[in-house]
């Protein structure tokens, strides 16, 4: 299993961790005061960021399951399903279609107990010739 920490400024600021196991990404976050909105729940922007990160990693790994390729988000639609204010949330994503350059993804953010918090569908551009370690 590969663990990615502090790879980007966004990841450092929010504190989420990426785990890649057998070509499948899992992005998790232990919620703290930095992530909470005025309504005392996980901020929607943090939720969207986690879904975007999980989706991007799924697309990145879609070539061979091991190599991280650059991706760009073309669109991301988020559906907020329930509130969460504490504990751990986990984002997972899977590629659902597309071609060599444009890839479609479904993502889900859930609590550690499996309660769905938000879902997303996205369209991403995959750059097969650019690789990031």
pLDDT, tens only, 11-60: 999 999 999 999 999 999 999 999 999 999 999 999 999 999 999 999 99
Q: Where are the domains positioned within the chain?
A: 2-131
Sign of the alpha-carbon torsion through 58, 6, 50, 123: negative
Fold of 2-131: Thiol Ester Dehydrase; Chain A (3.10.129)
Tens of pLDDT, residue by residue over 106-124, are 999 999 999 999 999 999 9
pLDDT at residue number 128 = 81
Quickly count helices (H) and strands (E) in the chain: 2, 7
Residue with tokens 């232990």: 30
């Amino acid at each position: 299993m590969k663990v990615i920490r502090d790879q980007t400024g966004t990841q450092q600021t929010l504190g989420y961790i990426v785990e890649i196991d057998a070509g499948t990404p899992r992005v998790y976050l232990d919620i703290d005061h930095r992530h909470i909105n005025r309504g005392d729940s996980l901020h929607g922007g943090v939720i969207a960021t986690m879904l975007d990160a999980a989706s991007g990693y799924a697309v990145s790994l879609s070539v061979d399951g091991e190599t991280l390729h650059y991706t760009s988000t073309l669109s991301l639609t988020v559906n907020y399903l329930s509130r969460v204010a504490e504990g751990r949330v986990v984002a997972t994503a899977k590629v659902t279609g597309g071609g060599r350059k444009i890839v479609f993804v479904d993502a889900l953010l859930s609590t550690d107990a499996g309660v769905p918090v938000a879902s997303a569908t996205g369209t991403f551009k995959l750059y097969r010739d650019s690789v990031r370690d």
